[in-house]
Amino acid sequence: MLEQIESRRSIRKYLNKKVEKVKLVQILESARLAPSGSNTQPWVFIVVESEEMKEKLSNADHQQQWMMTAPVFVVCVADIRCRISEGISVRLDENSPEPELKQIIRDTAIAMEHILLEAEHLGLATCWTAWFEQDDVRSILNIPEDKYVCGIITLGYGDETPKQRPRKELEEIVRYERW
C-alpha cells in the first residue's frame, strides 16, 4: 500500500476517457468500508457525471474550470443525523459550533482518503477539492441543510504526472512517548 500512497498526486488534468463502472463501484466500496467513530458511518456519496451538473459544481468550487476535464465527481457529504437525532433542529455551515460536526467531518475524511487511495490502486487519478461555500453546493444537489459537504473529489484517468512535492522527514514529525 505504501507504493500507492507514495505515487498518489492531486491531478488537475484528465484524459477524455470514461471510468469503468466496476472500478467506480470498487472505489465507492472502499469508502463504505472506512472506519468511523462508534461505527456511525456518517458519509453519503453523490456521483456526478453529467456535464451540466459538473459545470455547476466546478463554478461553485471557486470556478475551477480544470475540474471539467474529470469524467466523474464524487461529492462527499457528512450526515450529522448519525449523532444528533432528527427531532433536534440543526443547520450546518462553515461556522457551525456543534462538536458532532467535527466528528462527522473526521470520519468522512477517512472515507474520502480511502477513495483517493483505491483510485490510485486501480490506475485512476483524483483531486480533493473544497473551495466552496456549503450553501452553494447544497443548492445544486438538493442536499439538506443538516448535512455537511466535506469535499468534491474529481476522478478519472490522469493526463499529467506531477513530481512529488517535498515532504518532511520522519524525524521532524514523530515523537515517542511525549512531545
Domain that holds residue 104: 2-173
Domain annotation covers residue 79: yes
Domain annotation covers residue 104: yes
pTM: 0.96
| Tens of pLDDT, residues 91-101 | 999 999 999 99
Number of domains in the chain: 1
Domain annotation covers residue 146: yes
Q: Which residues pair with 152 in a beta bridge?
A: 75, 129
Domain annotation covers residue 26: yes
CA distance 146 to 143: 8
Domain annotation covers residue 178: no
Domain annotation covers residue 168: yes
Domain annotation covers residue 57: yes
| Tens of pLDDT, residues 119-152 | 999 999 999 999 999 999 999 999 999 999 999 9
CATH number at residue 34: 3.40.109.10
Q: Under 8 Å CB-to-CB from 70, ≥6 apart: which residues?
A: 14, 54, 127, 154, 155, 156
| Tens of pLDDT, residues 24-77 | 999 999 999 999 999 999 999 999 999 999 999 999 999 999 999 999 999 999
Q: Are the beta carbons of 74 and 45 closer than 8 angstroms?
A: yes
Domain annotation covers residue 138: yes
Q: Is 141 exposed, middle or buried (0-12, 13-18, 19+ CB in 10 A)?
A: middle
